[in-house]
Amino acid sequence: MADQSPAVETVNPVDDAINHLIEKFGAAVQRDTRDGYSGVIVDPAQLVRVGRYVRDTLNYEYLANAAAVDYLGKGDHLEMVYHTYRVSGGPALVLKAQTPREDAVLPSLVPVWPGANFQEREAWDLMGIRFDGHPNLKRILMWEGFAGHPLRKDWKEAYYEQDQKPFDSRWPGGQVSRSEEHNAYGKNVKYPDGFTLDDYESLAEKAIYDTMPLGVDVSADISTDRVVVSLGPQHPSTHGVFRMVAAIEGETIRGLEPVMGYLHRNHEKIGERNTFLQNMPFTDRLDYFCSLSNNLGYALGVEQLMAHGARWEAPSRRAEAIRVLMVELTRILNHLVAIGFMLNDLGAYFTPLMYAIIERELILDFFEAVTGSRMMCNYMRFGGVAADLPASLRSTANQVNDRVREFDTMQYLRELIHDRLPRAVDQTDQLLTTNEIVTSRCIDVGILSKEDAIAYSAAGPVLRASGVPYDIRRAEPYSLYPELEFDVAVRYHGDIYDRYLIRLDEMRQSLRILKQILPILEETKGQSFFSGRGGIYSPRVPAGESYGRAENPKGELGYYIVSDGGQNPWRYHVRAPSFINLTALEQMSKGNKIADVVAILGSIDIVLGELDR
Amino acid sequence: MTESNFLRELHDPDVPVPEGMQSSVAVTNLRKLADTVYNWGRRNSIWPMAFGLACCAIEMIATASSRFDQARFGMEVLRASPRQADLMLVSGTVTKKMVVPIVRLYNQMSEPKYVLAMGACAIGGGPFKEGYNVVSGVDKYIPVDVYVPGCPPTPQALLWGLIKLQEKIDKQSLGNANSTPWYGRGPSDEVPVPVLGPDIVDPRQAHLLRREAEAVQAQMVQAEGEEN
Ligand code: SF4
């Protein structure tokens, strides 16, 4: 007995769960044994049953991400990857299902996780996987009638040059040529053989209206016509080029469909051609208010992969401190502006936003001094950041007057964090929280229940305002967060008002974090801000998969990255919080008035660059 | 324009004015008076359309807000309706899906109308040029008056672009039907709205499509002939 080692409790809950699954489903569930991969591969026939079991019995009730991968030439199949989490925290249980490239079909997981709705539509649109049992399977980012599924590896666009950057035509020593000159139409277009415009009827608009509930409902005694209206893509309430098609009865919403893709810039396709580092500036342009937080999420994803490789050194303490500083400043900036925009939607035309932008400019002055750019910072690197904080900067943040002057950087930050920003938050609070219009328009409008919030994979402030205290900074901590003191903000009504209040709470928590960061910055002064050798432009990223997630101001920003050991990612997928939060929009809006939908949308806080990618 | 600038602009250099009166008197002809007054009014009350496409739109908003204060140029009145707008600020990436509404909006704007392409994307596709859903420059579909480079252009750069637009307006003359066609030949032609087919189709290129289709057919016939 003495030589027997004591029964070790399984420390890893995911391993535990996988064992359960294998025990229960036998051969239908297999461990993913590929090098650098994790999770289980599920037999498609059993996928829905496994999903239910994972959700109900194993308590992985939150589906964070569903992404498709094309393994052309590496097994020649398409693979759907699902990341599920427990809302109590902890790492992911990853489910995968494979299907042949020809005639790709998988069962839909929408009945289990309604939050898979848009993500499966995206996989159909871009990868061509058909989902059996999906309630509304049509294209989402491209338009109905578009030829082909562009994210497949063998699909080439009109301006295609090569599979990898840098293109030979640019560098080194290449002859620069304009893609327009190689195209018969002088534009970024290509058509199937023999296509002409004669008798062609576009499906793009028709497909949107086909599924809307139209017509007159005469079942009740007196009833109004049901009308379908289209809001957007050019509409002052839609924050850019978003569009909603709503079926209304009188003023009441009966059905609503978000129509997106008006800013679909093919981030992922381009990202698979870029080297790992070249993607960094592209991430800036996802959520263009929060370029630095986007940078961090991507850096985390790639660092996860690099950690398996040789000669990897984790970022230094100073680098981590600078990262947290940047990210939390970004959160404050974003929430101030988000509240401003939301008030816009309530009818306070631009005035609250002006107040927000004053503070934003002060933070941007700092960003510009550190990174060289106001908005597109491109600042994080794998293993640190691109540059140290400068000794001084020029700005106007002065209590006495608004003249531009030279500040010592640390003094500027202290002034900003201890004085200026707290005042700005308090001012927002004082001006808006008890404002009669705000309270009467926001309280009890657009409610999202706790159960729905989880089922629809809502993230960030939207999830937390519905009573789920889920924050990745605590649930699966990264960077310096484990040692920082802050509370996860949570509110319980799930209405617009709570989504507004939670942003105030979060800003205050961010300020708390920032106050703890300042001493760390002082104490690490002079330390290195980058752990790798100086100037590595093409980091060696070992083969495997990773899912890097960060708590962005708008919610969980995730990067699912597959590397085959080469210069560029084999698959680069972005889990965009703005996109997935919208899955619940119809649920929140039904039964409300059309003017409220505008406010509800404002309270979700979407940004189109990230929504459409 | 300051008062004395305005007078100098207005003044006909061929007519001498006594030294001491130059700051308060201008002698001019009717056409020049009309042009100057007309352009002065227009350049200082441009109403841009409230319409943002992508990241650049955020810098556009920053330009309109207090620090950079677009109102100095009389341009702070953003209109959501194209009917009331004089200037379309194309602030961001133009996608194939979006270019359809953009062309429609452009057609709906009343004359005189101007287009400013803000940022690398609107000028030529920018960082996303190679994308399958990206239009490589809004000028592939609608005429552009001012290009402001940058990614995103700073508010200062945008202001520079707006000043350039004012300079352009200053040079337009009522007497010249080429520079103010909306008084001469009636409204200009509408830009045909692109069609979302298997890829975006510009109706102005229908003949090219037909030519390519015929070429493909001819090739097939030839290949068949060779087989036999
Ligand atoms: S030019 Fe740059 S900043 Fe402007 S829309 Fe394009 S990517 Fe965004």
The letter for the amino acid at A412 is: Y
Residues 164-193 of B with CB under 8 A from A: none
- A216, A223 in Cβ contact below 8 A? yes
Residues A188-206, mean pLDDT to the nearest whole number: 79
Q: Which element (helix H / strand E) includes B87? A: strand B87-91
Residues 6 or more apart in contact with residue B14 via CB below 8 angstroms: none
Any idea which residue has 């080429």 for tokens? B178
Same-domain pairing of B68 and B126: yes
ipTM, two decimals, is: 0.85
Tell whether ligand 1 has an atom less than 6 A from the beta carbon of residue B151.
Answer: yes
> DSSP states of B190-227 as a string?
PPPPPEESSSEE-GGGHHHHHHHHHHHHHHHHHHHHHH
CB A132: neighbour CB atoms within 10 A?
Answer: 11
Domains of chain A: 13-132 (3.30.460.80), 267-612 (1.10.645.10)
> Is a pLDDT exceeding 70 seen at residue A401?
no
Q: Residue A245, SS3?
A: strand
Same-domain pairing of B74 and B186: yes
Higher-pLDDT residue of A406 and A146 is: A146
Same-domain pairing of B75 and B167: yes
A319 exposed, middle or buried (CB, 10 Å; 0-12, 13-18, 19+)? buried
The letter for the amino acid at A58 is: L
Kind of pairing between the strands at A105-107 and A130-132 = parallel
The rounded distance, in Å, linking the Cα atoms of B191 and B193 is: 6
Among B61, B140, B209, the residue with its CB nearest the CB of A197 is B209
> Is a pLDDT exceeding 90 seen at residue B213?
no
Q: Tens of pLDDT along A7-49?
A: 445 468 888 888 888 888 888 888 888 888 888 888 888 888 8
Residues A373-393, mean pLDDT to the nearest whole number: 86
Residue ranges making up the domain that contains B204 = 197-227
Nearest-Cα residue of chain A relative to residue B212: A194
Strands (E), A26-61: 29-31, 40-42
The pLDDT value recorded for residue B54 is 86
Q: Residue B112, SS3?
A: coil
> Ligand 1 test: best mutation among B91, B121, B128, most atoms within 8 Å of CB?
B121
Kind of pairing between the strands at B195-196 and B200-201 = antiparallel
The rounded distance, in Å, linking the Cα atoms of A441 and A426 is: 21
The pLDDT value recorded for residue A222 is 58
Q: Whose CA is nearest to atom 8 of ligand 1?
A: B55
> Is a pLDDT exceeding 80 seen at residue B181?
no
Q: Tens of pLDDT along A488-509?
A: 989 998 889 999 999 999 999 9
CA nearest neighbour of A264 among A279, A291, A246, A243: A243
> Ligand 1 test: best mutation among A285, A286, A375, A608, most atoms within 8 Å of CB?
A285
> Is a pLDDT exceeding 80 seen at residue B184?
no
Same-domain pairing of B206 and B128: no
- A551, A469 in Cβ contact below 8 A? no
Alpha helices in chain B (DSSP H): 3-10, 30-43, 55-64, 96-108, 119-124, 155-171, 181-184, 206-227
Tell whether ligand 1 has an atom less than 6 A from the beta carbon of residue B137.
Answer: no
A207 CA distance to ligand 1 centroid (A)?
Answer: 30
Q: Which two tokens stand for residue A326?
A: 């940047």
Q: Whose CA is nearest to atom 2 of ligand 1?
A: B151
The letter for the amino acid at A254 is: R
B153 CA distance to ligand 1 centroid (A)?
Answer: 8
- A580, A612 in Cβ contact below 8 A? no
Q: Residue A258, SS3?
A: strand
Q: Tens of pLDDT along A242-294?
A: 888 888 888 888 888 888 888 898 888 888 888 888 888 999 888 888 889 99
The rounded distance, in Å, linking the Cα atoms of B39 and B112 is: 11
pLDDT, averaged across chain A: 84
> Ligand 1 test: best mutation among B151, B154, B158, most atoms within 8 Å of CB?
B151
The rounded distance, in Å, linking the Cα atoms of A484 and B13 is: 73
B61, A158: Cβ pair inside 8 Å? no
The pLDDT value recorded for residue A511 is 92
CA nearest neighbour of A481 among A421, A411, A549, A413: A549
A472 exposed, middle or buried (CB, 10 Å; 0-12, 13-18, 19+)? buried
Least confident of A200-209, A278-287, B93-102, B163-172: A200-209
Among A158, A192, A357, the residue with its CB nearest the CB of B62 is A357
B93 CA distance to ligand 1 centroid (A)?
Answer: 6
Atom of ligand 1 nearest to the CA of A265: 7
Q: Tens of pLDDT along A297-309?
A: 998 888 888 888 7
pLDDT, averaged across chain B: 84
Residues 65-94 of B with CB under 8 A from A: 65-67, 80, 92-93
Same-domain pairing of B90 and B176: yes
Q: Tens of pLDDT along B60-98?
A: 888 888 888 888 888 878 888 888 888 998 988 999 988
- A116, A110 in Cβ contact below 8 A? yes
The rounded distance, in Å, linking the Cα atoms of A26 and A14 is: 17
| Longest CA–CA separation in chain A, Å | 87
The letter for the amino acid at A206 is: K
DSSP annotation of B82 reads G
A395 exposed, middle or buried (CB, 10 Å; 0-12, 13-18, 19+)? buried
Helix axes A496-523, A317-346, angle to 10 degrees: 150
A464 CA distance to ligand 1 centroid (A)?
Answer: 32
Residues B111-124, mean pLDDT to the nearest whole number: 89
- CATH of residue B7: 3.40.50.12280
Atom of ligand 1 nearest to the CA of A376: 3
Q: Tens of pLDDT along A532-583?
A: 665 556 678 888 889 988 999 998 999 999 988 888 888 999 999 989 998 8
The pLDDT value recorded for residue A133 is 87
Same-domain pairing of B177 and B207: no
Higher-pLDDT residue of B100 and A2 is: B100
Same-domain pairing of B183 and B216: no
A287 CA distance to ligand 1 centroid (A)?
Answer: 12
Same-domain pairing of B58 and B73: yes
Same-domain pairing of B138 and B35: yes
CA nearest neighbour of A609 among A245, A288, A147, A153: A288
B197, A191: Cβ pair inside 8 Å? yes
The letter for the amino acid at A93 is: L
CA nearest neighbour of A473 among A332, A327, A575, A576: A327
Tell whether ligand 1 has an atom less than 6 A from the beta carbon of residue B119.
Answer: yes
Tell whether ligand 1 has an atom less than 6 A from the beta carbon of residue B98.
Answer: no
Residues 6 or more apart in contact with residue A530 via CB below 8 angstroms: A315, A316, A319, A381, A383, A384, A385, A386
Same-domain pairing of B163 and B217: no
Tell whether ligand 1 has an atom less than 6 A from the beta carbon of residue B157.
Answer: no
- B154, B110 in Cβ contact below 8 A? no
The pLDDT value recorded for residue A1 is 40
CB A496: neighbour CB atoms within 10 A?
Answer: 28
Confidence category of residue A6, pLDDT binned at 50, 70, 90: very low
> Is a pLDDT exceeding 80 seen at residue A354?
yes
How close, in Å, is residue A164 to chain B by CA atoms?
13
Number of domains in chain B: 2
Same-domain pairing of B184 and B212: no
Same-domain pairing of B215 and B109: no
